[in-house]
Structure 1
Amino acid sequence: MKIKRIAVALGAAFSIMAFAANPVNVSASERTKIVFWHEMTGPAQVELKRLVNEFNKHQDKYEVEAEFEGDYNEAVQKILNTHGTDASPAVFQAMDISSAQMYYSKHTTPVQKFIDEDGYDVSQISSVARAFYSKDGKQLSMPFNSSQPVLYYNKTLLKKLGITPPPLDPSYSDVTRVANKIYKKSNHKIKGMSIEIYGWFFEQFLANAGACMANKADGHNGVPTAVDFTSSTAVNTMKWIQKGLKQGSFMNYGAGSNAGTNETAAFLSRRLGMFLQSSGSITQLTTGTKDEIGVCYYPHEDGKKANGVSIGGASLWISNDKSKDVQRGAWELVKYLLTPESQASWQAQTGYLALNKKSADQDVLKKLYKKMSQAKIPSQQLNRTMPNKANSGIFMQNLVQNRLLIQTAMEQIYDGKDAKTALTEAQTSMNKYVASNNKANGFDK
Structure 2
Amino acid sequence: MKKLLLLLVAISMIMFITACSNEADGQESDENTNTTEETTENTETEEETPEKATNDKVEAVFWHAMSGEGQESIEAIVDNFNQSQDEYTIIPEFQGSYEEALTKYRSVGGTADAPAIIQTFEVGTKYMIDSGFIEPVQSFIDEEGYDVSQLEENILNYYTVDDQLYSMPFNSSTPVMLYNKDAFKEAGLDPENPPPQTFEEIKEAAEKLTVKNGDNTERYGFSILNYGWFIEELIATQGGLYVNNDNGRSDSATEAVFNGEEGLRIFELMDEMNKAGTYGNFGSNWDDIRAAFQTENTAMYLDSSAGVTTTVENAPFEVGVAYIPYSEEAERNGVIIGGASLWMSNGIEEEKQKAAWEFMKYLQSPESQAKWHIETGYFAINPAAYEEDIVKDKWKEYPQLKVTVDQLQETKPSFATQGALISVFPEARQQVVTAMENVLQGTDPKEALDKAAEETNRVIEQANRANQ
After TM superposition, the score normalised by the length of structure 1 is 0.90
**Partner residue of 1:392 out of 418, 431, 441:** 418
Superposed, which structure 2 residues align to 1:361-376 within 5 Å? Answer: 361-376=387-402
**Partner residue of 2:404 out of 344, 364, 378:** 378
Counterpart residue identity of residue 210, structure 1: G
CA shift at 1:160, angstroms? 3.0
Paired-residue identity, %: 36
Superposed, which structure 2 residues align to 1:157-306 within 5 Å? Answer: 157-165=183-191, 167=194, 170-184=197-211, 188-255=217-284, 257=285, 260-306=286-332
* Structure 2 partner of 1:84: 110
Counterpart residue identity of residue 166, structure 2: L
Task: Report if the CA contact (8 A) 1:229-1:426 is conserved.
Answer: no
Unaligned runs of 5+ in 2: 1-51
* Structure 2 partner of 1:149: 175
| Aligned-partner SS, 1:307 | coil
CA shift at 1:219, angstroms? 0.8
Query: What CA distance in whole angstroms lies between the structure 1 residues aligned with 2:213 and 2:414?
Result: 42
Query: What CA distance in whole angstroms lies between the structure 2 residues aligned with 1:131 and 1:174?
Result: 31
CA shift at 1:28, angstroms? 5.2
CA shift at 1:186, angstroms? 8.4
Task: Report if the CA contact (8 A) 1:194-1:250 is conserved.
Answer: yes
Superposed, which structure 2 residues align to 1:67-78 within 5 Å? Answer: 67-78=93-104
Task: Report if the CA contact (8 A) 2:294-2:316 is conserved.
Answer: no
Task: Report if the CA contact (8 A) 2:113-2:348 is conserved.
Answer: no
CA shift at 1:360, angstroms? 1.1
Query: What CA distance in whole angstroms lies between the structure 2 residues aligned with 1:313 and 1:84?
Result: 24
More helix by share: 1
* Structure 1 partner of 2:369: 343
**Partner residue of 2:433 out of 385, 390, 407:** 407
Counterpart residue identity of residue 183, structure 1: T
TM-superposition CA deviations, 1:367-389 (whole Å, max 9, x none):
01111111100100111112211
Query: What CA distance in whole angstroms lies between the structure 2 residues aligned with 1:245 and 1:199?
Result: 18
Query: What CA distance in whole angstroms lies between the structure 1 residues aligned with 2:231 and 2:334?
Result: 14
Query: What CA distance in whole angstroms lies between the structure 2 residues aligned with 1:313 and 1:43?
Result: 16
* Runs of 4+ with >4 A deviation: 26-29, 184-188
* Structure 2 partner of 1:17: none
CA shift at 1:163, angstroms? 1.6
* Structure 1 partner of 2:352: 326
Task: Report if the CA contact (8 A) 2:178-2:300 is conserved.
Answer: yes
Quickly say closer, same or farther: Cα 1:59–1:168, change in 2 above 3 A. farther
CA shift at 1:405, angstroms? 0.8
1:43 aligns with 2:72: no
After TM superposition, the score normalised by the length of structure 2 is 0.86
CA shift at 1:84, angstroms? 3.5
Query: What CA distance in whole angstroms lies between the structure 2 residues aligned with 1:153 and 1:287?
Result: 14
Quickly say closer, same or farther: Cα 1:195–1:58, change in 2 above 3 A. same
TM-superposition CA deviations, 1:387-416 (whole Å, max 9, x none):
211111211101011111111111101111
Task: Report if the CA contact (8 A) 1:141-1:317 is conserved.
Answer: yes
| Aligned-partner SS, 1:272 | coil
| Aligned-partner SS, 1:189 | strand
Unaligned runs of 5+ in 1: 1-25
| Aligned-partner SS, 2:221 | strand
Query: What CA distance in whole angstroms lies between the structure 2 residues aligned with 1:369 and 1:130?
Result: 24
Query: What CA distance in whole angstroms lies between the structure 2 residues aligned with 1:360 and 1:141?
Result: 23
TM-superposition CA deviations, 1:248-288 (whole Å, max 9, x none):
11100112x3xx21211121122211100100111110110
Task: Report if the CA contact (8 A) 2:282-2:292 is conserved.
Answer: no
Counterpart residue identity of residue 30, structure 1: D
| Aligned-partner SS, 1:30 | coil
* Structure 2 partner of 1:101: 127
CA shift at 1:29, angstroms? 4.2
Query: What CA distance in whole angstroms lies between the structure 2 residues aligned with 1:368 and 1:30?
Result: 39
Query: What CA distance in whole angstroms lies between the structure 2 residues aligned with 1:172 and 1:161?
Result: 19
Query: What CA distance in whole angstroms lies between the structure 1 residues aligned with 2:183 and 2:242?
Result: 36
Query: What CA distance in whole angstroms lies between the structure 1 residues aligned with 2:294 and 2:444?
Result: 32
TM-superposition CA deviations, 1:61-85 (whole Å, max 9, x none):
0011000011111111211211234
Task: Report if the CA contact (8 A) 2:241-2:258 is conserved.
Answer: no
CA shift at 1:86, angstroms? 4.2
1:435 aligns with 2:435: no
Aligned length: 414
Superposed, which structure 2 residues align to 1:415-434 within 5 Å? Answer: 415-434=441-460
